[in-house]
Amino acid sequence: MDWKSCSSCKKPIAHGGKYYKCSVSTCNSVRLPMIFCSVGCWDAHVPVLNHRANVWAIEERAPAPPGAPERRLVRPTTAPVEPDEVLIVASRLKDFVKDRADFNTAGDVMEALSEIVRDATVDAIANARLEGRRTIMARDFRRR
């Protein structure tokens, strides 16, 4: 038995399978949620519903069938970030400085900017934590 069917092509979406939903809130109403089996099906509905240009498909997982054992999400392990690792893309910054002011960029600038980015990110994490979120947002980087 399948979970639901695609709102566009009517193909079945299996329990525990991937599906997509629209980022527009009116497409995600409780009474009539629009779900899609693929990004192509989601893309087909965008011009029909006259969405603006800044919409996207959100990947989701259908719930497990009733009585199925609970699945745990296991995140892959990543290599630890070294505390003094360079976080700035040197070529991009050097091109920006060259285009903007026709200046050269010294090699130690990347380390200095990386330190500034680290400090600002630590502050942003604290701001998000104060608001009860586990996601940092652009507004968390603004000084209060």
pLDDT in tens, 66-106: 777 766 666 666 666 667 788 888 889 999 999 999 999 99
**pLDDT tens digits for 27-53?**
888 888 889 999 899 888 888 877 777
**Model confidence band, residue 113 (pLDDT cutoffs 50, 70, 90):** very high
Q: Which of 51-55, 61-65, 109-113 has the lowest mean pLDDT?
A: 51-55
The DSSP-derived string for 61-129 is EPPPPTTPPPPPP-PPP-PPPPTT---S-HHHHHHHHHHHHS----TTHHHHHHHHHHHHHHHHHHHHH
| Residue 50 per-residue DSSP state | T
Residue 77 has a pLDDT of: 67
